[in-house]
Chain A
Amino acid sequence: MNWLRIREFVRKEFIQLFRDKKNRPLLIIAPLIQLLVFGYVVTTDVRDIKVAFLDQSHTLESRRLIDAFDANRTFRITRFTNQSKELEQALLKRKVDLAVKVGPDFGEHIRRGETAFIQILADGSMSNMAAVRVAYTSLVLDRLNRAFIEELYPEKIEYGKIDARIRTWYNPNLDSRNFYVPGIVAVLIMIITLLFTSMAIIREKEAGTIEQLIVTPLRPIELILSKTIPYIIIAQTQMVMVTIFAIFWFSIPMKGSVLLLFAATVLFLLSTLGIGLFISTVSATQQQAMMTTFFFILPFFMLSGFVFPIANMPTVVQWLTYLNPLRFFLTIIRGIFLKGVGLEVLWPQYLALTVLGLIVFTGAVSRFRKRLD
């Protein structure tokens, strides 16, 4: 292997990549834009539940119900109406998330020691958030109930209540950002390396310059290295950039070792570059290469636990996720960033990434060499 030759070809690759003026911002600005957008956008927190209220009772008791919702930070009563129809329209038009209807005999029932029913309609269209809204609603009602009971039967109470101290680990404020931002870099690296390696090679094929490369004294393995090393450099640069941005702009805690993070990146790149090479051997045009890349990227993305929890998937699909390098890389990144764990916990993921990477990369390389011969 002649490193001098490889160095020159890497340089050629960089010149080609940056000669196209439109490529420059794409390599540097695009990851930052994506990071920013993801950082700000990707939350499924339930913060501000908008409520429409219909109070037909107008009693002290119904007032207390309204106050109970008002006092809770998560709820915000945005409109009071007098008609059922209006209430339902507000829900239908997505003006509110929750509609509460209090009947005329609400106060009377409570004072008589009977159960007063109220009607609550919840917008279920985003089911995950709706489930939280429903849980919070019953929480408000249960607390109010307790208050009512204590007042109705004051002499009898000598019974404490269970008070839960809920602590959320790894991400105490349940900040979605802490979860998603570190993961973005993994997704970015995957997209960039997969697309660029496969398309860069296909472009040489389409332009006919691959023939020229073959007649140069460059050996196949050197050709492969000179085609992949630029993307390893770019990916690592992006990793550094995004990590710095995540820590200083989004104040994501970085609890673990940076070195381990970079080691994992290299292992992950083995797989993605391997797949990129593989795609370049099976595609004839850039359009084909791109579609094939998508065919890999989409399932990798969906089945990685980046947005959709793996635990929710059917067992068969859960098994499939073990073939997904992104899954392991994400676990490592999140483990290092949020939990601050090291190799003692993450060694299975590192091992899996290594094994997957070696298989994919050597497989792709041998296929690529055959194609060249």
Chain B
Amino acid sequence: MSLINIKAIARKEFYHLIRDFRSLYLAFIIPLLLIFLFGYALSLDVDNIKTVVVDHDKTPLSRDFIRKLNASSYFHVTNHLIDAQNAIDYLDKGLANMAVVIPSGWTEDIKADRETSLQVLLDGSDPNFAGLSRGYITSFIEEYNRRQLIDFLDRKGKNKIKPPVEGRIRVWFNEDLESRNFIVPGIIAIIIMIVGAILTSLVIAREYENGTMETIRSLPVRGGEFLLGKAIPYFFIGLTDVLVAVFMGQILFGVIMKSSFWLMVLASTIYLWVALSLGLLISIGTKSQLVANQLAILITYLPSLLLSNFVFPVSNMPEFLQMVTYLVPATYFIDILNGLYLRNLGLNHLWPSYLVLMGMFIFLSIMNLVMLKKEGM
């Protein structure tokens, strides 16, 4: 391996990048845009469920129920409507996410211990939103019930009754339950894939399309040197992107890494090399920029987004796809990021994921060299 050769190839690739100025600055702008969007604009949390109510009962109890509903931090009662049909219109047009219909005679039925029911209509078209809303409304009603019962017993009995069981629920790892805290680290994995794999998937295909691959073959450059030289400029772009993402997450959005910064740099470096070798492999295999690009989106970007435990939990997937997730490098990287960012774990817990990523890198590098050998390098 000759350092001079690697440097020469890297410099050539670097000139390509500089000359293609827009590709270069987009390689920085796109990650910034992503971090900014995810940190500032996108959230999976639900805290302001637009609710319309239809009160056929009109008693102190029904009014109290509505008031408490509005006062809870999750629901916001926007309109009082006259009948259920009205409420359905609101749901149809997307003006409300939830409708609560209180039947007439509701209070009397409750006092007489007769079966009575409150109607709750939820807009289920967004399942994440609806799932959260359903959870909140069920537990709101159950808590309201408990309080009612205790009030009732208090009024009858002499002494105050205490609730028998009280759960002190503490949330760990993401104390404020902000989706930003797990999405911003995850986005680093996506950025690395875009810059590392998708951008590099074009670099060797380009040589084939322009016919310059012949020239390179005739140079006294060996396969490994060629690959390293091609990858190095993108490695530096990728690493810069990661650092920018980490600092932006921390400074602008308060997403703070609990564990060691250097472990993060180490993990990003290994993962970046996995991405780079994947991109180069696609490039050698397809020899066409358009195909390489499509393939790179299909086998690097999408799996990193979908099959990596990033937003969509692996435990919900069918068995077969769960197996596939073990092949996706992002799974391990996101596991590491989750450990470093949220759980304050160190190498003693996370070493298996580091090891797997290393293994993937070595395997992909060998594949690359074999492919290049076939091409006569």
Contact = CB atoms under 8 A, between A and B. Distances in A.
A93 interface: yes
Query: Which size bracket describes the interface of A in this complex?
Result: 35 or more
6 contacts: A122-B169, A122-B171, A130-B177, A160-B114, A191-B297, A339-B125
B27 to A, nearest CB: 7
B168 A117 contact: yes
Given A92-B343, A146-B149, A302 B37 contact: yes
Contact of B165 (A134, A141, A161, A179): A141
B97 to A, nearest CB: 8
A127 interface: yes
B288 interface: yes
Nearest to A174: B127
Contacts of B289: 199, 203, 286-287, 290
Contacts of A172: 124
B137 interface: yes
A136 B139 contact: yes
Contact of A149 (B30, B138, B149): B149
B82 interface: no
Given A41-B312, A135-B136, A312-B45, A23 B111 contact: no
Given A162-B118, A174-B124, A128 B164 contact: no
B104 interface: no
A311 B109 CA distance: 37
A206 interface: yes
B165 A115 contact: yes
B33 interface: yes
Main secondary structure of the interface of B (DSSP, over half): helix
A60 to B, nearest CB: 13
Given A30-B298, A149-B150, A178-B127, 6 more contacts: A22-B295, A93-B349, A171-B130, A195-B294, A294-B26, A311-B48
A130 B135 CA distance: 11
Given A41-B317, A145-B163, A286-B202, A169 B173 contact: no
B28 to A, nearest CB: 11
Interface stretch (B153-161, B223-231, B263-271): B153-161
A30 B131 contact: no
A351 interface: no
A57 B291 CA distance: 64
B164 A287 contact: no
A250 B315 CA distance: 20
A295 B29 contact: yes
